[in-house]
Amino acid sequence: MKFFDLRLSFISKEERNFLDIKKHGNVLYQEKNYILAPCLKAIKEGDQVQVFKTLKANGENVQISYNQLIKSWVISSKNVALIARNEKDLEIYKKIENTDRFHFAILMAESWFAKINSMT
């Protein structure tokens, strides 16, 4: 699932309760449910959801998800995604002729793998 920026009103319980179709229209209501429904379902089923607040470099952002089917991380900058199981897989992208295209995605992937490798 692709991650999206959350509107403050989606995470404020008081404001979220007022985000209904009658007041805000279908698009905003659907956006809220598309983003939050999987997280709320996981919490309801007893799973944990962890949120990381990140800072942007050069206007870029990072989006990270895990694809169980291919047992790989999908790590994206603003417009470029790469797929990697671990740090070693990043070498594939570093050897591509137009490496600049993957520059930010590679930096973000390296940071992500450093983060998960430091977790206990």
- Mean pLDDT in each 10-residue stretch from start to end of the chain (120 residues)? 60 65 67 78 86 62 88 88 95 84 90 90
> What residue ranges do the domains of the chain occupy?
8-44, 63-118
If DSSP codes are grouped into helix, strand and coil, which group holds residue 76? strand
Q: Tell me what pLDDT residue 32 has.
A: 73
Q: Tokens 């169980």 — which residue?
A: 68
Q: Which pTM does this prediction carry?
A: 0.56
75: burial class by Cβ within 10 Å (0-12, 13-18, 19+)? buried
> How are strands ordered across the β-sheet holding 63-67?
63-67, 72-76, 81-84
Q: Tokens 């989006």 — which residue?
A: 63
Which of 76, 75, 78 minimizes the C-alpha distance to 113?
Answer: 75
Gyration radius of the chain's alpha carbons: 17
